[in-house]
Amino acid sequence: MTTKLDLDPVTVRKARSLARKAGRPIVRIAQQHTTVSVERATLRLAGLGGADAEGTPWVNRLLDAVRADVGLEHGAALPVWDALVRSEAEDLLTLAQKASAGSVRFRIPEGRDAQRARSASKRAVGGGIKTIDRRRVERDRLIKRHGDAPRQPWIYLIVATGDIYEDIPQAQQAAREGADVIAVIRSTGQSLLDFVPEGATREGFAGTYATQENFRLMRAALDESSKELGRYVRLTNYASGLCMPEIAALAGMERLDMMLNDSMYGILFRDINPIRTFVDQRFSRQVHARAGIIINTGEDNYLTTADAVEAAHTVTTSQLLNEYFAKEAGLEDWQLGLGHAFEIDPAVPESFRLELAHALLARELFPQAPLKWMPPTRHMTGDVFRGYLLDGFFNLVGAMTGQGILLVGMMTEAVVTPWLSDRDLALQNVRYVLDAAGGLHEDFRPAPDGLIATRARQVLGETVDLLDRIADEGLLDAIADGTFGLMRRPADAGRGLEGVAKKADGYYNPATDLLEEA
C-alpha cells in the first residue's frame, strides 16, 4: 500500500523501538512467573477436561491439590507426571479424581525421576499441540474448499442471546445475511471467574460462557453455514479475564478463528492484577500464534472512558505495545487485529476528518495488520435515526482507510440488544457504503499539509512522547498512574494476584517448551 500520510520513517522507527523498550521488562516478568491458569491450560492441552459434580473443572481440582502439596512455583507438569509415572493413577482424570479426594501426595521429583516426568508430560501436552496444529491445517483446507470472505473489510457481527442454542440460528442467519465473522458475546462476569465453566450455556447474562462445548457447537454450526454459503465463516470469542490461557487452548483445539485478546484490557477494565495479566497474556498469545488465530485487541475501549480526541495517542501507544507483545509471543502481522474505534463526539467540528486521520494513521503504521474497526457506542444516544447516519460515516471511514475487520454498528446501540431488523438495516448500511465507495481509497489522497495529515502526524508525535515517558518510568507505573483509559491500576493490587507465582529454579512447563521451540 502506498503511503498517504507521508509519516516520517525515523519517527515510526523510534515509536517501535520505544514500545520495545517499554515492553521488554514486562516480557521478562512474564518469563519469570507462572499462574494457575497457565498451569491449568497445560493440563487441558494434555487432555484433562470435564468437571466434578459441583461443576468445578478437574483441572482446577488437580492443580489446587498439587499447589497445596508442593506449591505452584515448579509448575504442574513435574509433580503431576511424576505421580503418573509412579502409577498413582492410570490417567490424568483418575489422578485428578483421586487428588481431589485427598488420596494422592505430590512431590517435586529429582534426578532421573524428574527427567522421566518431564518427558512423559511433554508427550502428553504434545498431543494437545498436535490437535491445535491439525485444526489449523483443517481451517486452511476449509478456506480453500469453500472460499474466503469475498472482500475486505470482513463483516463482523455479534450474537448475544445468552443461550447457545438460540445463538446458533441467529449466527447462521447473520452469516446468510453477509457476516464473514461471527462473535459470540460472553456472559457478563466470566472475566472474573477463576475457572472455565463446562458444557453448553442455556442461561447466560447478556451472552454465553466461553466453554469448550459452546465453542464446539458454534464452530460445527458455522461449518454447515460455510458449506451452504460457499465461503468460510469465521468464529470469534474472548480469551480474556482470569482464564485467558485456558480459553486460548480450548479455542485452538476447537478451531476458533479469532479471539479478543488485549494486553492490558483486563488490567484496566476488570481490575485484574497486571502481573497476572501479562503472564497469562504471553502464554495465550503463544497458543494463538500456533493455532493461526487472529487476535483482536481492545483499544476501542479506552475511548469509551476517555475522550477520543484527547486520548487518540493512547490508542496508538497501546497498539504499538500490543504489536510488540504479540510479535514477541510469535504472532505474525496477519494475526494482529489491532483495535480502534469511531468514538469522537459528533459535535466536535471536523470530527469526520479527525476520525479519518486516526484510522489512516493506524492503517499506515501497521500496513500488514488486519485492523479491527469498531463502531460508535459512546455518542449513540437512542436517537436511532442519527445513529444510523453515524454508522454510515463509520462505514465510510472503514472503506476509505482499508480496515480489515469491520464490526457492524447498530443504530439501537445503547437501546436494546439488536433486533433482527436492526441487524438487517445495519448490513444494508455496510453494503451500501462498500458498494458505493469501496474503491474510494484509490482516489483519496489527503493534502500533505491538510488537517488529516497534520493531525495524524500530531497523534504520532504525542504517541512517541508518551512511549518515551512509559519506557522511562516503566509500563507498570504508567498503568498505575492512569495513563490508559484513565484507570489507575497498581501492580500489587487487583484480582487474581494470589494465582501468580515466581518460577523456582527447576520450573518446567512442556507447553511453553513446545510453543517456544517452533
Partner 1 sequence: MSTLVRPYGDTTGDGMVQLSFTLPVPHSKRAEGAAQQLANKMGMDPALVVHAKPMGPDFTFFVVYGRVNHLVDLDAVEVIERDYPLLTPKEVNASIKQSLRRRLVVLGACIGTDAHTVGIDAILNIKGFAGEKGLEYYREIKVVNLGAQVSVPHLVDRAVAERADAVLVSQVVTQRDAHLLNTREMSAAFSEAFPAAERPLLVVGGPRFDEAMAGELGVDRIFGRGTTPGEVASFLAHRLAS
# of chain residues touching partner 1 (CB under 8 A): 27
* Binder of partner 1 out of 189, 330, 392, 461 (CB under 8 A): 189
Query: Residue 493, interface with partner 1 (CB under 8 A)?
Result: no
Q: Which of 300, 302, 507, 508 is catalytic?
A: 300
- What the block records as the C-alpha cell of 404 is 480489515
Pick between residue 376 and residue 404 the one whose CB is nearest to partner 1.
376
DSSP letters spanning 360-381: HHHHHHSTTS--EEE---TT--
Query: Residue 176, interface with partner 1 (CB under 8 A)?
Result: yes
Rounded distance, CA 396 to CA 157, Å?
A: 17
Binding mask 14-53 for partner 1 (x = CB under 8 A): ----------------------------------------
* Binder of partner 1 out of 11, 56, 305, 454 (CB under 8 A): 305
Query: Residue 192, interface with partner 1 (CB under 8 A)?
Result: yes
* Binder of partner 1 out of 35, 60, 191, 322 (CB under 8 A): 191
* Binder of partner 1 out of 293, 338, 487, 514 (CB under 8 A): 487
Among candidates 422, 368, 375, which has minimal Cα distance to 396? 375
Query: Residue 432, interface with partner 1 (CB under 8 A)?
Result: no
DSSP state of 385: H
* Binder of partner 1 out of 133, 163, 223, 424 (CB under 8 A): 424
Helix (H) or strand (E) holding 435: helix 420-437
Instruction: Tell me if residue 300 is catalytic.
Output: yes
DSSP letters spanning 38-98: HHHHHHHHTT---B-TTS-BHHHHHHHHHHHHH-STT-SHHHHHHHHHTTS-SSHHHHHHH
Stretch that binds partner 1, among 12-20, 232-240, 266-274, 508-516 (CB under 8 A): 266-274
Q: Which of 167, 324, 372, 391 is catalytic?
A: 372
DSSP letters spanning 113-128: HHHHHHHHHHHHHHHH
Within 13 Å of residue 383, how many CA atoms lie on the same side as its CB?
7
Query: Residue 436, interface with partner 1 (CB under 8 A)?
Result: no
* Binder of partner 1 out of 173, 328, 386, 481 (CB under 8 A): 173
Collapsing DSSP to helix, strand or coil, 100 comes out as helix
Instruction: Tell me if residue 372 is catalytic.
Output: yes
Among candidates 189, 196, 188, which has minimal Cα distance to 212? 196
Query: Residue 379, interface with partner 1 (CB under 8 A)?
Result: no
- What the block records as the C-alpha cell of 405 is 475487520
Among candidates 350, 332, 337, which has minimal Cα distance to 403? 337
- Cβ neighbors of 230 (< 8 A, separation 6 or more) are 146, 147
Stretch that binds partner 1, among 62-70, 76-84, 134-142, 301-309 (CB under 8 A): 301-309
Stretch that binds partner 1, among 186-194, 330-338, 349-357, 439-447 (CB under 8 A): 186-194
* Least distance to partner 1, CB of residue 420, Å: 6
Rounded distance, CA 451 to CA 453, Å?
A: 6
Rounded distance, CA 122 to CA 126, Å?
A: 6
* Binder of partner 1 out of 103, 115, 188, 368 (CB under 8 A): 188
Q: Which residues are catalytic?
A: 265, 300, 372
Residues that bind partner 1 (CB under 8 A): 162, 173, 176-177, 188-189, 191-192, 205-206, 269-271, 304-307, 378, 382, 414, 419-421, 424-425, 486-487
